[in-house]
Amino acid sequence: MTTTTRIERHHYDVVVIGAGGAGLRAAIEARLAGKKTAIISKSLFGKAHTVMAEGGAAAAMGNVNSRDSWQVHFRDTMRGGKFLNNFRMAELHAKESPQRIWELETYGALFDRTKDGKISQRNFGGHEYPRLAHVGDRTGLELIRTLQQKIVSLQQEDKREFGSYDARIRVFSETTITELLLDGDRVAGAFGYYRESGEFILFEAPAVVLATGGVGRSYKVTSNSWEYTGDGHALALRAGATLINMEFLQFHPTGMVWPPSVKGILVTESVRGDGGVLKNSEGKRFMFDYVPDVFRKQYAETEEEADRWYTDPDNNRRPPELLPRDEVARAINSEVKAGRGSPAGGVFLDIASRRSADEIRRRLPSMYHQFKELADVDITAEPMEVGPTCHYVMGGVEVDPDSGAAFGHVRGLFAAGEVSGGMHGSNRLGGNSLSDLLVFGKRAGGHAASYADGLSARPKVAVDAVEAAVETALAPLQRDTGESPYTLQQDLQAVMGDLVGIIRREGELADALVRLAELRERVAKVSAAGGRRYNPGWHLALDLRNMLVVSECTAKAALERQESRGGHTREDYPAMEPKWRQVNLVCSLDGDSVRLTRKPLPKMRAELIGLFDRAELAKYLTDEELADFDASVADAGEADNR
Amino acid sequence: MSAKRQFRIWRGDETGGDLQDYMVEVNEGEVVLDVIHRLQATDAPDLACRWNCKAGKCGSCSMEINGKPRLGCMTRMSTFGDDETVTVTPLRTFPVIRDLVTDVSFNYEKARETPAFAPPADVAPGDYRMQQVDVERSQEFRKCIECFLCQNVCHVIRDHEENKQAFSGPRYFIRAAELDMHPLDSRTDRKEYAQAEQGLGFCNITKCCTEVCPEHIKITDNGIIPMKERVVDRRYDPLVWLGSKIFRRGETPQTSVTTARQGSATSSGATRGGLHSHAGGSHDQRAEAQAQAGVNWDREVPHPTAPAVDDRGRLPLTELTFDRAAAPSPFGDDVSFPLPPEHLNFAHPDQDDKH
């Protein structure tokens, strides 16, 4: 059978899987390093999920408040991630994001401006100063379009030099990768299919960058598009890499809950940054009741103070609506559970009674447009109904912070963006993902290029691995006895949504693992009707096994971590536990099953931990760590005195 | 609140296909794309359809719904009558791949041909300074989600496959306009390029593109017309051409739309009347010669007039800021049809007898 299957073969230096912000930035970097680069896009070029990001890209440029600096940004990021972040990634991110944003302007991006003509920056939950470079509320679209157009401009250069647009960088649109191919422990290539024709395609390449985004399609209420099936997570696992922090999923606090067709679509945090407030069915502005002790100092205690903050942020504390996302999500969940929710099971987000219609339309144009067109709701006239939505996975491929190279026993594999783990710790701040894409996309692309340079011989693709990949890919089409992939996906979403959702319990998580094991049997026998040509049922059937293995990682890690932190809330362990802060849960694949191990977090360098108040650290660190901190402060003091 | 509704969906590939009938459940508050997803999960698991964000932000689910080019995710079922059959077909202008999926590579080819942003050579990253009011004009076009509905409805390619070679389409006219209006783009020939290489001249301003744009970009008024007018201004203004022929002078008459300062230009235009000719835009030497031969040199020649301008002496870019309904006539707003015969460049066989 395999002898008759036609496979298109290509040779590249660097193959980038994923055409969102991280993938495109990585590809640009690899091409600028002179490498022949392929970009694999699951959708059409320029449609990636990055377009959905509304708020902005966080970078401490200090254009609006000159007191901002990378140190403050670093501190906010660590605080937001509840100190579970890989400190080195948070440091690199805070230091490099301003350059990455400025660079976009040289590619043609047009951000909104300040009065003196610089890039304007807006407030956002968890950021101490206005920090998010933005374009109205369509920043993600601007970012993807800018990178897309930069790639076109590189192709135009290549056309002038070599006579072909595709000479050094080529986009394979509507192409899905199903397997990474190895030569020993080295990446040798990637195998997949064109969605349009169903024809197979084989890339031989020594370096692969994963930039496939997240896993949200395993959840029923999600803001994520169909592409978010955890492909990169699963490819990495199967290639011998490891995943960390998979228990941490971010549920965006304010997704639309009405009407049903748009359930899950996000209402950007800037609605709250620009004056929107959350109210329960009794009309009470309830967020004041949910300010945790660790944040007490930075947030207003009265509505009057909170309202003054919008115009005078230097002399007032911020409104509690701008608490980090997990806090807001939990607060909404509590209100709904206490019976004070809206008719559709959310709460009300009200900006209509607080800002003039003109101002709302000007500051939140696409939000206004979206609600008007999708739901026939006028946000300038009535409050929105919102509730928590699966939005982002903090966990992902465990990588070297500087190069983005995957850990585990595989070489030549890199990861950037949502598919990588560590940068955001247990909770990502809004605005940090767009800058994350740029900073680590560039790094992964550059390091993939130099890795390819450093090889003395190209790894070889083994024929039998390709044959096995073909067989796996065709299997669902050749069976007609199995279940429909759509049914299986719905069942998987039900398990994850009901048992591994925003609030978790030990019994439910254990139950989830049993059900996932049952689903694994059923997914192994899935069948897809129809042929190979643009057949969405077949595509879903192939994605299912990725969704399944990633869901297992999440459920296992969630069961293991007996505390609540950031995007992981255990009803049976509601407190944050300093002991657990020292631990990353690492998933790897042992044959077919997911293996979970504990790994200590790297120790933060003294000059970085010195950026925090001791009082703040006391909330996160164990007593031994604090003693250590005191000793290092004393050492530094003595050194100064000498 | 759910009911069975009648759907007709085009199924097939490049070898042919037909409309197939489905009865499908529809719930309150759903959009057409929800119904298509339900069909995939039930009766038609291999029904091909592109989609991504389901929020009108990515522009993937372009289709024709009851003959109208729409985004499936932005078309609420409540906009149809309860017993209305909903017919869904693929975009007509592009070759079908399968079912509702078409080959839109034409657009990506045109995108690659459009010269990219040219950064200013002497400004370092981080030193870009632009005023909000200046970036806003380009930002309007950067709202484009590349759903290609404008490309799909454009008559120049919808009904004339042969034009695709020379014509880039509205999406890439606004890309050119966006770069033309970019405060720091260092190329100065965006308009000329649009005219010479993108086929801007083919566009006859029927505004279909603007009508279907889900982002409500004023493609024609804010993008295409300003590009056309300024191209005309520089190279093809028929008034400039004809004026120079008529007056046999080397100098350019006061017709330039960007330099005209005539106080109340609208009223002065109305009192003087206008003179217009298609011959001026012709590239055909013989036609031009004939047109010239036909000119009645004895008639009273009205002065060329400038179009209406606003307080700042500039052409109104949108209908909103303009003082009359609809867009400016490409022939000038002060001209009514039919034109008086004496204003035509036409040599009647008997004209010499009359004079």
Per-residue pLDDT reduced to its tens digit, A572-615: 998 999 999 999 999 999 998 999 999 999 999 999 999 999 99
Mean pLDDT of A504-514: 95
Across A327-336, A415-424, B311-320, least confident range = B311-320
Active site residue A272: yes
- State whether ipTM is beyond 0.90: no
pLDDT digits over A36-76, tens only? Answer: 999 999 999 999 999 988 889 999 999 999 999 999 999 99
Helix (H, G, I), strand (E, B) or coil at A291: coil
Residues in B closer than 8 angstroms to A102, CB to CB, are 125-126, 128
Mean pLDDT of B52-56: 87
Query: Can you give the pLDDT at residue B30?
Result: 86
Cα-Cα-Cα-Cα torsion B304, B308, B311, B314, nearest 10 degrees, comes to -80
Instruction: Provide the CA A290 distance to its chain's centre, in angstroms.
Output: 26
Across A571-585, B171-185, B234-248, least confident range = B234-248
Query: Can you give the pLDDT at residue B128?
Result: 97
Which residues lie below 8 Å from residue A144, measured CB to CB, with a gap of 6+? A20, A21, A24, A46, A48, A50, A51
Alpha-carbon span B278 to B241, nearest angstrom: 11
Say whether B216 and A149 touch across the interface (CB within 8 A): no
**What spatial distance separates the first Cα and last Cα of chain A, rounded to whole Å?**
78
Helix axes A139-162, B105-113, angle to 10 degrees: 70
Residues in A closer than 8 angstroms to B51, CB to CB, are 225-226
Q: Shortest CB distance from A105 goes to which of B99, B115, B125?
A: B125
H helical segments located in A193-319? 231-238, 270-273, 303-309
Whether a cis peptide bond, with omega within 30° of 0, leads into B338 is yes
Active site residue A428: no
Catalytic residue among A127, A252, A363, A568: A252
B317, pLDDT greater than 80: no
Alpha-carbon span A45 to A479, nearest angstrom: 32
Which residues lie below 8 Å from residue B166, measured CB to CB, with a gap of 6+? B199, B202
Query: Can you give the pLDDT at residue B307?
Result: 58
pLDDT digits over A569-581, tens only? Answer: 998 998 999 999 9
Read off the pLDDT band of B327 (50, 70, 90): low
Read off the pLDDT band of B318 (50, 70, 90): low
Hey, CA dihedral for A605, A606, A611, A613, is it positive or negative?
Answer: positive
B285, pLDDT greater than 80: no
The DSSP 8-state label assigned to residue A584 in this structure reads E
Alpha-carbon span A572 to A133, nearest angstrom: 40
Backbone angles phi, psi at A132, to 5 degrees: -95, 110
Q: Assign residue A183 a region (left: φ > 0; alpha: ψ between -120 and 50; beta: otherwise).
A: beta
pLDDT digits over A167-192, tens only? Answer: 999 999 999 999 999 999 999 999 99
> Would you tell me how many other CB atoms lie within 10 Å of the CB of residue A550?
28
Alpha-carbon span B305 to B255, nearest angstrom: 6
Read off the pLDDT band of A399 (50, 70, 90): very high
Hey, CA dihedral for B306, B312, B318, B323, is it positive or negative?
Answer: negative
Residues in A closer than 8 angstroms to B55, CB to CB, are 52, 262, 265, 370, 374
Query: Can you give the pLDDT at residue A136?
Result: 87
Helix (H, G, I), strand (E, B) or coil at A14: strand
Query: Can you give the pLDDT at residue A623?
Result: 95
Whether a cis peptide bond, with omega within 30° of 0, leads into B90 is no
Query: Can you give the pLDDT at residue A547?
Result: 97
| C-beta separation of B199 from B186 below 8 A | no
A637, pLDDT greater than 80: no
- Higher-confidence position of B324 and A87: A87
Read off the pLDDT band of B262 (50, 70, 90): very low
User: Does the model's pTM come out above 0.90?
Assistant: no
Q: Shortest CB distance from A261 goes to which of B34, B52, B182?
A: B34
Nearest chain A residue to B121, by CA? A106
Say whether B48 and A153 touch across the interface (CB within 8 A): no
Look at strands A593-600 and A347-350 and give their pairing.
Answer: unpaired
Say whether B52 and A145 touch across the interface (CB within 8 A): no
Read off the pLDDT band of A369 (50, 70, 90): confident
Structural tokens at position A392 = 């982002």
Which residues lie below 8 Å from residue B199, measured CB to CB, with a gap of 6+? B156, B163, B166, B167, B168
CB contact, 8 Å: A529 with chain B?
A: yes
Structural tokens at position B226 = 């300003």
CB contact, 8 Å: A227 with chain B?
A: yes
Catalytic residue among A49, A138, A217, A272: A272
B254, pLDDT greater than 70: no
Query: Can you give the pLDDT at residue A294?
Result: 83
Q: Shortest CB distance from B58 goes to which of A51, A99, A484?
A: A51
CB contact, 8 Å: A486 with chain B?
A: yes
Read off the pLDDT band of A257 (50, 70, 90): confident
Structural tokens at position B166 = 């020379």
Which residues lie below 8 Å from residue A159, measured CB to CB, with a gap of 6+? A165, A167
The DSSP 8-state label assigned to residue A288 in this structure reads G
Mean pLDDT of A629-641: 81
Helix (H, G, I), strand (E, B) or coil at B330: coil
> Would you tell me how many other CB atoms lie within 10 Å of the CB of residue B29?
20
Nearest chain A residue to B97, by CA? A196
| Long-range CB pairs of A116-119, under 8 A, 24+ apart, other chains included | A116/B129, A117/B129, A117/B130, A117/B131, A118/A61, A118/A63, A118/B129, A119/A61, A119/A63, A119/B128
| C-beta separation of A286 from A611 below 8 A | no
Cα-Cα-Cα-Cα torsion B22, B24, B26, B32, nearest 10 degrees, comes to -40
Query: Can you give the pLDDT at residue B185?
Result: 96
- Higher-confidence position of B147 and B263: B147
Mean pLDDT of A196-216: 96
pLDDT digits over A267-283, tens only? Answer: 888 889 889 999 999 99
Residue with tokens 């031009």: B288
Q: Is A488 exposed, middle or buried (0-12, 13-18, 19+ CB in 10 A)?
A: buried
Alpha-carbon span A119 to A61, nearest angstrom: 9
- Higher-confidence position of B316 and A336: A336
Q: Is B313 exposed, middle or buried (0-12, 13-18, 19+ CB in 10 A)?
A: middle
Which range has highest mean pLDDT (A354-368, B16-30, B98-112)? B98-112
Helix axes A139-162, A21-32, angle to 10 degrees: 30
User: Which of B2, B50, B58, B99 to mutate to probe the A interface, most A CBs <10 Å?
Assistant: B58
pLDDT digits over A523-581, tens only? Answer: 999 999 999 999 999 999 999 999 999 999 999 999 999 999 999 999 899 899 999 99
Nearest chain A residue to B110, by CA? A152
Query: Can you give the pLDDT at residue A5?
Result: 78
How high does pLDDT run on average in chain B?
79
CB contact, 8 Å: A152 with chain B?
A: yes
Q: Is A185 exposed, middle or buried (0-12, 13-18, 19+ CB in 10 A)?
A: middle
Read off the pLDDT band of A336 (50, 70, 90): confident
pLDDT digits over A403-445, tens only? Answer: 999 999 999 999 999 999 999 999 999 999 999 999 999 999 9
Query: Can you give the pLDDT at residue B252?
Result: 39
Across A323-327, A530-534, B235-239, B319-323, least confident range = B235-239
Query: Can you give the pLDDT at residue A2?
Result: 43
- Higher-confidence position of B283 and A491: A491
Beta strand extents in A458-556 (DSSP E only): 503-504
Read off the pLDDT band of B261 (50, 70, 90): very low
The one-letter amino acid at A529: A
B110, pLDDT greater than 80: yes
Look at strands A583-590 and A243-244 and give their pairing.
Answer: antiparallel
Nearest chain B residue to A134, by CA? B139
| C-beta separation of A622 from A603 below 8 A | no
Q: How far is A414 from chain B (nearest CA, A)?
A: 25
Read off the pLDDT band of B249 (50, 70, 90): very low
Alpha-carbon span A122 to A113, nearest angstrom: 11
Alpha-carbon span A43 to A225, nearest angstrom: 10
CB contact, 8 Å: A491 with chain B?
A: no
Q: Shortest CB distance from B41 goes to which of A103, A374, A486?
A: A486
Read off the pLDDT band of B289 (50, 70, 90): low
Report the b/e string of B265-292 with b at 16+ CB within 10 A.
Answer: bbebbeeeebbbbebbebeeeeebeebe
The DSSP 8-state label assigned to residue A338 in this structure reads T
A235, pLDDT greater than 80: yes
- Higher-confidence position of A638 and A229: A229
Alpha-carbon span A413 to A448, nearest angstrom: 8
The one-letter amino acid at A496: M
**What spatial distance separates the first Cα and last Cα of chain B, rounded to whole Å?**
80
How high does pLDDT run on average in chain A?
93
Across A131-145, B213-227, B263-277, B318-332, least confident range = B263-277
